[in-house]
Chains A and B, each alone.
Chain A
Amino acid sequence: MELSTTYLGLKLKNPIVASASPLSRSMDSMHQLEDAGASAIVMHSLFEEQIIHEAASMDHYKSYGTESFAEALTYFPDTGDYHFAPEEYLELVAKAANKLEIPVIASMNGITPGGWTSYAKKIVEAGASALELNVYYIPTDGTMSGVDVENRYSDVLKEVLGAVNIPVAVKLSPFFSSIPNIAKRLVSEGADGLVLFNRFYQPDIDLEELDVKPGVELSTSYANRVPMRWIGILFGKIKASLAATSGIHTAEDVLKLTMVGADVTMMCSALLMHGPEYIGKVLKDLERWMQEHEYESIEQMKGSLSHKSIANPSAYERANYMKALNRYKLLA
């Protein structure tokens, strides 16, 4: 049984990659992920805000109120060198790259081109095998057009590509007018892969406090329907790796997303729910299914149910919507 796959030019032993999550915050849990069978690890994200603001914020609070009052010219001792998140992150990338057998893919999360992207170079120096760029952007300004949003992705990507010599994948939002168009554009500009899709944390309302609270909900398998559609549509049409993320919980999910064309499937919520060792179970289930259905390799099934490979591509399209509605009526 050949489970191996290629993602961003990296030869991986199977298609299950641990996606960016708190599990990549410590070497212990990363070792557990590796031991459980993950073929690669996408590190948790280094946020633009951490790079830009963390040091500034520490400086602000340590110096706030100083040099004002003769008896208390400062409020904190000088405690020597600081390890801010970017430095800690680089140290962890270096440690992971050194200690783990599997490739380590670093992740950067930001929305503007600028000084923070210079950290991409440092990430390369730290030993990451590849870089995932997560442009987590919610436009709220009505004067900003769809093109403006796309340009922002493009600008950040170009700046990072200018700084690194390792493969770069871009994690996309599902909210583009034309996903194939932005996908093509980013790939033409040099992206080595696309990760579909970013799951935005949706806000919630606290009725007592009359306030908006950030909400973090883990996904279910249902969430993979969105990447499933778009990977299916993109497969074979762009020259870049495709990663499926959101709602990968079971071997069936892995199979489905691989069949629509994903080079890798990335797990997060399932691992947070069940622990790193859960990858082992999914791999076993995957192998069993492939054996039962007489598949020889992952490569064999990859894209076999993609938009271009199925008899009735309209299943991915609007016509499919009508069918679905009719079916719903019948069931009702």
Chain B
Amino acid sequence: MSDAKDGRIKVTIDGNEAAAYVAHKLNEVIAIYPITPSSNMGEWADEWSAMGRKNLWGTIPQIVEMQSEGGAAGAVHGALQAGALSCTFTASQGLLLMIPNMFKIAGELTATVFHIAARTVATHALSIFGDHSDVMATRATGWAMLAANSVQETMDLALIAYASTFESRVPFIHFFDGFRTSHEVMKIEQLSDADIKAMINDDLIQKLRERALTPEHPVLRGSAQNPDVFFQAREAANLYYDAVPGIVQKAMDKFKQIVGREYKLFDYVGAPDAERVIVMMGSGAETAHETVEYLTEKGEKVGLLKVRLYRPFSIEHFIKALPATIKNIAVLDRTKESGSTGEPMYLDIVTALSETFSAGKAPFKAMPRVIGGRYGLSSKEFTPTMVKAVFDEMKKPQPKNHFTVGINDDVSHTSLTYDPNFSVERDDVVRAIFYGLGADGTVGANKNSIKIIGEDTENFAQGYFVYDSKKSGTMTVSHLRFGPRPIHSIYLVDHASFVACHQWFFLEKFDVLQSAIPGSTFLLNSLYGKDEVWDHLPRHVQKQLIDKKMKLYVIDAYEVAKKTGMGSRVNTIMQTCFFAISGVLPKDEAIKAIKYSIQKTYGRKGEAVVQKNYEAVDQTLANLFEVKIPSSVTSKIEMPPVVSDKAPDFVKKVTAMIIAGNGELLPVSAMPVDGTFPTGTAQWEKRNIALEIPVWEIDICIQCNKCALVCPHAAIRTKVYDPAKLALAPATYKSMDYKGPEYKGMKYTIQVAPEDCTGCTLCVEVCPAKSKKEAKVKAINMKPQPPLREQEKVNYEFFLALPEVDRRNVKADSVKGSQFFLPLFEYSGACSGCGETPYIKLASQLFGDRMLIANATGCTSIYGGNLPTTPWTKNSDQRGPAWSNSLFEDNAEFGLGMRLTVDKLNEMAKEYVTLLSTDIGVDLATEIIEAVQRDEATIYEQRGRVKILIDKLAAIKKPEAKRLLSIADNLVKRSVWIMGGDGWAYDIGYGGLDHVLASGKNVNVLVLDTEVYSNTGGQMSKSTNRGAVAKFAAAGKPTAKKDLSLMAMMYNNVYVARVAMGANDAQTVRAFIEAEAYDGPSIIIAYSHCIAHGIDMARGMTNQKIAVETGYFPLFRYNPELIKEGKNPFKLDSKAPKGALSDFTSIETRFNVLTKSNPDRAKELLKLAEGDVKVRWAIYEQFAHEGSDVQKPASN
């Protein structure tokens, strides 16, 4: 914060914080639910209320997290009816879930503002990025819609929205672009309390209260109406809508008086005599603004009309805002409505012009020619050159209508071409790109730099950050601009004056100097000093350094970090280098500012953290060197191919482009038309992110296979095989005699996938075998990857080529046996050491060749299905899991649909088999129909029969045979799995899950229970334990974890298991086998350690063990099959709690953090949590000893 003027201060924040700031000032009840990219607004509100921050009227807003966005909208609706000032935040599918309530809220003329970080609605694929498809889907609800184009506008228009809704009674959607404005860090002027107070009329609040439901003056609202009056009643509110544009403009005018910034319902910029005008809204309008300024300076007659109040759409204001000279209009929509006559705003503009002309009210001589186009879907870049392309198109005699811009549409040829070299950026703006690794703190440091420059100087500053879709070992790219004028460049830096690469290995993977302009500076974190570095640079880097006459600086930041106790975080060091080289600030001033900001950032985290950062700053300058650049390129190091030449065509042509960061270049024709992609693609994406990989010690190994079981990435595998196969083994390939009787005489190998391992060390952690000579040496030990990579690559290829074990001969219900099955889920991009993926991989090994998977949105769907690759794969018979993600909330129902189809098709196939039995052969038909498919052997037999059947059907010339042929594979057992996290199972999807469990159908539900919404950053769910700190539970969750297992058990015909692999792996494997074998609904609740717990991920399995030992997460299996045998179906699989609950909670930051922030509350909640443990154990123990009350015969 800096320079208070008129009570206003300059802050450097993103759009989410800007919106939340106003919302928290002007509400009393805020209902929230996490959804990217709007989650942060709820998080801010929750944190501020937890810290006691008050609203404008001196009360702390009450924040409530609901079970879904539908729930949040319902809660807001109720709060509003009862007379509170209430709002919510959401995006995308969340907004769609609010629509039913939105119709009601508008129909009842209820004042509120929903703040929307506009995001793509899932169609052929989910996308977390930004466009207007969500807000456009709410057009029919009757809400006013106000679009903010920048971070400053997000704050300003939020206030204008509140002022307007209170006066008009019409509810407002206040939206800004998700994953641009929502996350773009900008220096803005923060509205003061005085500003907000001056804009809000307390009398209107009073009237709002008077309309509230109260038994003191009872009314009925929400009646049911009949054909006689509904229509008239629907028209009764028209005048309120008619008044909205005037009210909003009045609020904008008042805002100008108070704050100084001017807004209009339609803001025009550009030549007063413009002939070509773009009409658009959202962050892209800023880029268009910048381009229009540039083009008008060059004498072009162009202009831009920014639409701010999109609904109610005021034709009058729109027409008035256009220059009278206008001849061409291009309407740009950031959405797509397949099948319509045009995108929504295009249709609005055409209608507005047409109506105006028809009425003879147009100020123009002739009706302007209107074309419409789509841009920026899912945060697709929208740059000045694209704006120019649109203006150029308008010049043409026959311009394209319904065009696209920003892509290459080589299918329906809608796209406009543009000049990739066109730029409107000015030289006095510093434009910097930083390539970092998620773990090295680059983004944090850059956010800090923006704050320093934005708040300590007169400069304007902007930062936007691009992340990978993998969760670990990923690259982050920071795009920073600093300049003397407000920044309208709302696109990535593509003409960089400064490039920093914080990781050496990026040089060989990406063209990091691609965007560097001539004369720019390159800062490199290098192991090699100033005299050696040149000889190690790849050829393309050397060439660009010379051709572009660049300056090169190097620092060994890891060495400085090591010396100064910073570990692997090079953030402060690289930040200091940037300031030292870039000259944005005088060096001494910059160092002072960095240290001040360190104190501000880390001061509350403890003096020690501050001191080591100071030390890092001081050490940096002495270790930063400029490199003299030779005159010629000498390097022979070339960029290796992105994927192996052995990869399938699709992977080489499409997937590889995306992996290399060149997905932007793919044309429309490269894309599947319906979102269908091949599986088995993660194997081609060799990420090489492990610094160390496990190495097997034959002499110590006891062949327990635990290492393979826990590997979250299927990167360590075991196999038994014929010794003869070793004849062709590579020289360093390791093998040993198999120790057990079941594969006597065969060889055994544990092999690591060196390029796929993430180095998480979970395998080493669980390895029980220690050297008898030196206890620290286990049967698996971590060793540096680079020297082993080539050797182990060859070994792994040899290992993979060895035949898989015959599934019929494997003891599947054991840890050891399960790990001889081929994983059909491999090398996922989950967090290194993920606690969820070992369970998924296990399921894929046991049942993968017959699995249909319904996957709820969340971590599982992201590491399972986010491009470029998928970890789901196939076996050598080309069988494997078929996977799909519908939504977050409907996953159980989605899976049930799969089950119903499988059952129906199976039934139909059997009917056809019966019908065709004489053609097929009666014996075969009978065998097929009566086949019992209970294990690998019997399923194998049925597959054999079905194959014969299919062969025979080809020769039978009957229509029934053809029909049977299309569904015959359903005669083989299908295993339907419904997977998701606790956010889905406990909260948003619980209603559906409950219904599906109650259906009695044979589905298998796997709940990966991390006790938070992990994918969106760790928000509280009903699975979160008492006392844990989570997002939306900043003060620690006050209530106990919901016992989903007990609730499911009460149906009495549902198989239920609670498992924790790190505590009891054998029980885990048995639970999976039993659940799948049970001919009815099954649910496995799998405790999964998670990065959101704030733990040492390398010890995740140990944490699981302690969680079970202390009674935090007891294990049991409830198998209704046992009731038929007269046995107790409930088997308690863990021992009575041992030690104190704090033995577990003290090793996890999610609990620890409360002991540091609010020790008294932490103590109180821990005490209550200890009570929870006791009560839960007592209940389970009673079931185990006496049997449950629900031991009635199962009735499906």
Binding site for B on A (CB under 8 A): 51-56, 58-84, 86, 88, 115, 210-211
Contact = CB atoms under 8 A, between A and B. Distances in A.
Contacts of B372: none
30 contacts: A55-B607, A56-B612, A58-B606, A59-B606, A64-B1091, A64-B1097, A65-B831, A65-B1091, A66-B444, A67-B443, A67-B444, A68-B467, A68-B472, A69-B438, A70-B37, A72-B1015, A72-B1017, A73-B40, A75-B1094, A76-B1150, A77-B1030, A78-B1034, A79-B50, A79-B1158, A80-B50, A80-B1157, A81-B604, A82-B1157, A83-B1156, A86-B606
A79 B1157 CA distance: 6
B1094 A72 contact: no
Nearest to A54: B606
B608 A211 contact: no
Contacts of B1095: 61
A61 B1096 CA distance: 8
6 smallest CB-CB distances across A and B, nearest first, come from A55-B606, A68-B438, A72-B1017, A77-B1034, A67-B443, A79-B1157
- Indicate the member of A54, A59, A62, A69 with the most B CB atoms within 10 Å: A69
A248 to B, nearest CB: 29
Contacts of B607: 55, 115
Contact of B609 (A55, A64, A74, A211): A55
A91 B1015 CA distance: 39
Given A59-B609, A79-B1029, A210 B770 contact: yes
- Indicate the member of A61, A66, A67 with the most B CB atoms within 10 Å: A67
B847 interface: no
B775 A211 contact: yes
Contacts of A55: 605-609
Interface in B847-905: 862
A83 B1158 CA distance: 8
A51 B607 CA distance: 9
A64 B1094 contact: yes
Given A59-B609, A69-B474, A76 B1094 contact: yes
Nearest to B1032: A77
Contacts of A86: 606
A71 B1156 contact: no
Interface in B362-393: none
A87 to B, nearest CB: 9
Interface residues of B, number: 69
A83 B1017 contact: no
B204 to A, nearest CB: 33
Contact of A72 (B46, B441, B1016, B1149): B1016
A59 B444 contact: no
Contacts of A64: 439, 1091, 1094, 1097
A69 B471 contact: yes
Contact of B608 (A52, A67, A81): A52
A60 B1149 CA distance: 10
Interface string B1149-1172: 110111011110000000000000
A51 B610 CA distance: 12
A179 to B, nearest CB: 34
B93 interface: no
A120 B292 CA distance: 64
B1149 to A, nearest CB: 4
B1157 A70 contact: no
Nearest to A55: B606
Contacts of A77: 43, 46-47, 50, 1029-1034
A58 to B, nearest CB: 7
Contacts of B611: 115
A79 B474 contact: no
B1157 A83 contact: yes
Contacts, number: 156
Given A53-B608, A59-B602, A61-B1095, A79 B439 contact: no
Contact of A67 (B438, B1014, B1152): B438
B567 interface: yes
B605 A82 contact: yes
A72 B39 CA distance: 9
B1153 A62 contact: yes
Contacts of B608: 51-53, 55-56, 115
A232 to B, nearest CB: 42
A58 B1149 contact: yes
B179 interface: yes
Contacts of B31: none
A88 B128 contact: no
B502 to A, nearest CB: 12
A69 B465 CA distance: 10
Contacts of A69: 438, 467-471, 474
A153 to B, nearest CB: 23
Interface in B34-55: 36-37, 39-40, 43, 46-47, 50-51
B1092 interface: yes
Interface in B437-451: 438-439, 441-444
B1159 A88 contact: yes
A53 B567 CA distance: 13
Nearest to A74: B1017
Contacts of A67: 438, 441-444, 465, 476
A60 B1097 CA distance: 12
Contacts of A211: 775
B49 to A, nearest CB: 11
Nearest to A81: B604
A206 to B, nearest CB: 10
Nearest to B1015: A71
A76 to B, nearest CB: 6
Contacts of B567: 60
Contacts of B1081: none
Interface string B1055-1077: 00000000000000000000000
- Indicate the member of A55, A60, A74, A77 with the most B CB atoms within 10 Å: A77
- Indicate the member of B50, B179, B605, B606 with the most A CB atoms within 10 Å: B606
Contacts of B1091: 64-65, 75
A11 B1072 CA distance: 70
Nearest to A73: B1017
A139 to B, nearest CB: 21
Contacts of A61: 1094-1096, 1149
A20 B1030 CA distance: 36
A110 B654 CA distance: 59
B511 to A, nearest CB: 22
B1069 to A, nearest CB: 23
A63 B566 CA distance: 13
Given A55-B609, A65-B831, A78-B1034, A70 B1150 contact: no
B981 interface: no
A53 B225 CA distance: 68
Contacts of A54: 606
B442 to A, nearest CB: 8
B483 interface: no
B179 A70 contact: yes
B1103 to A, nearest CB: 12
Contacts of B1114: none
- Indicate the member of B470, B605, B612 with the most A CB atoms within 10 Å: B605
A308 B307 CA distance: 98
Interface string B1113-1157: 000000000000000000000000000000000000110111011
A76 B606 contact: no
Contacts of A80: 50-51, 604, 1157
B1018 interface: yes
Interface in B14-48: 36-37, 39-40, 43, 46-47
Contacts of B604: 80-82
A74 B34 CA distance: 13
A71 B1158 contact: no
Contacts of A83: 1156-1157, 1159
Nearest to A51: B608
A71 B438 contact: no
B596 to A, nearest CB: 18
